[in-house]
């Protein structure tokens, strides 16, 4: 019985799914130190889109925290990713002082990379 209690939690820690995400800055300000989950994107200038990077998600929850810095303010938001393995996150600052983000999650077609999904 004790062996099951030890093995089960260890097995759960390795149960991640991987999606590929790029970050698009649609705000009027540059983003610094951008991270999604444990994936680092670095700085994302105004009007640019990063390359796709792998992001680990817990399978049943399928979410990750987005963290970025703007003008010395550290801002965090949470994104959900369901139904596909490639996503673009269009990020805009709604209220810098309050730390409010607008994150539009776009599901990309897995077979044609970079095209928007119809669903």
Within a domain: 64: yes
4 has a pLDDT exceeding 70: no
| Domains in the chain, number | 1
Within a domain: 1: no
Within a domain: 93: yes
Give the dihedral sign, CA 54/9/62/97: negative
Question: What are residue 73's DSSP bridge partners?
Answer: 70
Within a domain: 11: no
Under 8 Å between Cβ of 76 and 64: no
9 has a pLDDT exceeding 60: no
Residue 56 lies in domain: 17-107
How does pLDDT run across 58-99, given as a tens digit for each residue?
767 788 899 999 999 999 998 887 778 899 999 999 988 888
Under 8 Å between Cβ of 99 and 73: yes
Within a domain: 12: no
Within a domain: 63: yes
Instruction: Name the pTM for this structure.
Output: 0.77
Within a domain: 117: no
The pLDDT score that the predictor gives to residue 8 is 37
CATH classification of the domain holding 80:
2.60.40.2890
Kindly report the backbone phi and psi dihedral angles of residue 60, in degrees, each rounded to the nearest multiple of 5, phi listed first. Answer: -75, -30
Residue reference for tokens 């990063």: 50
């Amino acid at each position: 019985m004790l062996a099951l209690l030890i093995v089960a939690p260890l097995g759960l820690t390795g149960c991640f799914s991987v999606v590929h995400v790029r970050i698009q800055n649609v705000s009027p300000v540059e983003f610094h130190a951008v991270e999604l989950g444990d994936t680092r994107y670095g700085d994302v200038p105004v009007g640019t889109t990063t390359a796709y990077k792998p992001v680990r998600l817990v399978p049943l929850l399928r979410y990750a925290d987005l963290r970025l810095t703007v003008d010395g303010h550290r801002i965090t938001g949470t994104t959900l990713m369901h139904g596909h393995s490639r996503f673009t996150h269009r990020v805009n600052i709604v209220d810098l002082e309050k730390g409010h983000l607008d994150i539009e999650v776009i599901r990309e077609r897995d077979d044609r990379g970079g095209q928007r999904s119809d669903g």
